[in-house]
Amino acid sequence: FAPDSKSIFTADESGHMKRWQVDDFLDPRATEIDPNSGRLPQSRRISLPIEGGLNAIALDPTGQIAATGGDGERITLWDLRNGQPIDTLWSRARGVSAAEFSSDGTSLAVGWRRGSVDIWDLPTRSMKRHLRNRGDGVEGLAFSDDGKYVAIGQRDGVVTVWDLEANSRDFRFSADSAVPGAFAFHPFERRIVTGGQSGIIKVWEENNDSGPILNLTGHDARIFDVAFSPGGRYLVSAAF
């Protein structure tokens, strides 16, 4: 979501990023986004020179900067006002699988297919944390609203929450039978929403070991993404 809740950004395997204008969330027709339907006048398409397509996209809180990553070692920062690249961040890892900005826009988390996560300080363009996460590859990332914690979703269904100030694991829980992939911190409450292979959205409270406090059903396929609107009132989920 863009900060004004009126646009959604998507990335795809063709190597393109698109901005979709959504005029009314209460109108179901406004949320039917189909890149193959020919409704491109509602989108702004920006061509990105990334071989192998795009695996991850993240939007900063201002809605003016995007971070994208593909199969290589680089993360590209883009100015969405003119569609031009701003800078490139390089890592020793290969295969970006997830990316996420902190709520203040000063940090960027990048997850890699082999399970590690880099935390970048954007004002200095320097890596300030390299998290050697145990388990399978990274499928999703989410910062807490205060930027002190980052949640890492793995292909084996485990979500690990890291305390970035202490540089240590805070807690872990099994969110799904396989590939949680989609999850987000609520912007104000200490809760995490996850979705994955089962098609069920689960709501978790931090440090509550009794399991999810709420299950949301409705999808009949794997959930690939969930996101809160900036005020936390709406939750959008995508599955196929």
pLDDT tens string 53-103: 788 889 999 888 999 888 888 898 988 877 788 999 998 878 888 899 998
Per residue in 203-234, pLDDT tens?
Answer: 888 777 788 888 999 898 888 888 888 788 88
Q: How far apart are CA 79 and CA 176, in angstroms?
A: 36
SS3 30: helix
Per residue in 5-55, pLDDT tens?
Answer: 777 777 777 777 777 776 655 554 434 334 444 343 344 445 444 555 788
Closest to 44 in 3D by CA, of 10, 85, 71:
10
Taking the CA atoms of the chain, what radius of gyration do you get in angstroms? 17
Q: How far apart are CA 26 and CA 71, in angstroms?
A: 37
Q: What is the pLDDT of residue 146?
A: 86
Give pTM, 2 decimals: 0.74
| Side-by-side strand order, sheet with 126-131 | 96-101, 107-112, 117-121, 126-131
- 106 pLDDT above the threshold of 90: yes
Percent of the chain with pLDDT over 90: 16
Closest to 180 in 3D by CA, of 216, 142, 139, 137:
139
Q: How far apart are CA 52 and CA 76, in angstroms?
A: 14
Place of tokens 């939750």: 235
